[in-house]
Amino acid sequence: MNHLIQKAPETMTSKRRVQLTFAHEKTDRVPIDAFFNPGILSRVMGAFGLKPQQMEELKEALGVDFRDAYPAYTGPLLFPEKEGRRVDSVYGFYTRWVPHEGGGYDDFCDFPLKDADPEQIANFPVPSPDDFDFDTCIEFYKAHPDKALYVGNAGIADIINSMGRVMGMEDILVNLMMEDEATLQLIHRKVEMEMGIMDRLLSRGKGLIDFMWIGEDLGTQIAPMVSLELYRKTMRPVHSMAVQLADSYGIPTMIHTCGSSSWAYPDFIDMGIKAVDTLQPEAVNMSPAYLKSRFGEKLTFHGCISTAGVLSFGTPEQVRQEVKDTLSVMMPGGGYMLSPTHLIQDNTPVENVIAMYQAAHDFGRYE
């Protein structure tokens, strides 16, 4: 394997590094995370001389501190298959592969509950937590005791995106505003399934897992996607349920939310959420300086390195400066975990990815 990254000296495990960061205590360096679209991932793997199945080796080379596992669905086929489409076996949404010059992406399509009546929504299948393979996850956790381990992901306890994928964004937003009973019951069944999965993972992995990750996209680039009133009525109760579950196992909760979403941070703090993810710096009221000055004492931050800016369109030198500038704002007082704001996009030059992670090691060290 090509050693393209000169990693910072380490005096603690990834697990301890992340635990201390959640507590805003001093570490040897900032924790590091990484997420990729398939096209750029393939090219980065090639640059490191790695094969597609060697993801663990890539994470080690970059210095990624985080690891996760999600149980595979093993239950019956609940949704009809369609030619030229991929159906999600758990949530029932459909995607089609759209290629582009850098790779491609899965485009949501067909929307099985678009314009659906209450009976169709009420009868939409939701799997049981019994229909998942938890054994493989627990084996994975036990095999990585020194890493920062988490349960969940950016889609757990999510309402707008998850429901929008099956009924379309217009329908879910209208149905939330109208407090459509069938839609609210479907959301309840979906979240109940997810919390059942989280509970089983946390119970069987007790003592191994460091935090829970949930999500809800709440902002466009320039403004909130929903009102604070609607958030508090329909989404906050779901997030509170997740936080209470994590609290019962003595671990913190991190929430993902894209776009201009700092307007919801006071509610996050109030319900006991400890960390926020994504932090798109180009969105309104989401710059590192804004977030750090207003919420830095109450929240831990995970993100800030924009996948829509210099990482995709700049030079390696500009990427390096961007990471340095972000760290200079976010590192003082602790509580920062360096991560791209989303999956690193396929139009990103490989040399920019390398520059990002090298800068994290060069400038992310605490004295």
Report d(CA 110, CA 8) in Å as an integer: 47
pLDDT of res. 146: 98
Fold classification of 14-82+118-363 (topology level):
TIM Barrel (3.20.20)
3-state secondary structure 149-172: EEEECCCCCCCHHHHHHHHCHHHH
- pLDDT at position 102 is 82
Q: For residue 103, what pLDDT is reported?
A: 85
CB 282 within 8 A of CB 309: yes
Q: HEC profile for 106-155?
A: EEEECCCCCCCCHHHHHCCCCCCHHHEECHHHHHHHHHCCCCEEEEECCC
Residue ranges of domains in the chain = 14-82+118-363
* pLDDT at residue 312 in the model: 96
Q: Identify the pLDDT of residue 3.
A: 78
What value, to the nearest 5°, has the Cα angle with vertex 263 and ends 261 and 265? Answer: 85
Which candidate, 248, 172, 281, places its Cα nearest to that of 216? Answer: 172
The label of the residue with tokens 């009525």 reads 233
The C-alpha atoms of residue 118 and residue 112 are separated, in whole angstroms, by 13
Instruction: Give the pLDDT of residue 1.
Output: 62
**Beta-carbon contacts of residue 333 (< 8 Å; ≥ 6 apart):** 24, 296, 297
> Does the predicted TM-score (pTM) go above 0.95?
yes
CB-based contact 260:286 (threshold 8 Å): yes
Mean pLDDT by 10 residues, the chain (367 residues): 88 98 98 96 97 96 98 97 97 96 91 98 98 98 98 97 97 97 98 98 97 97 97 97 98 97 98 97 98 98 97 97 98 98 96 98 96
Convert the pLDDT of each residue in 134-159 to its tens digit: 999 999 999 999 999 999 999 999 99
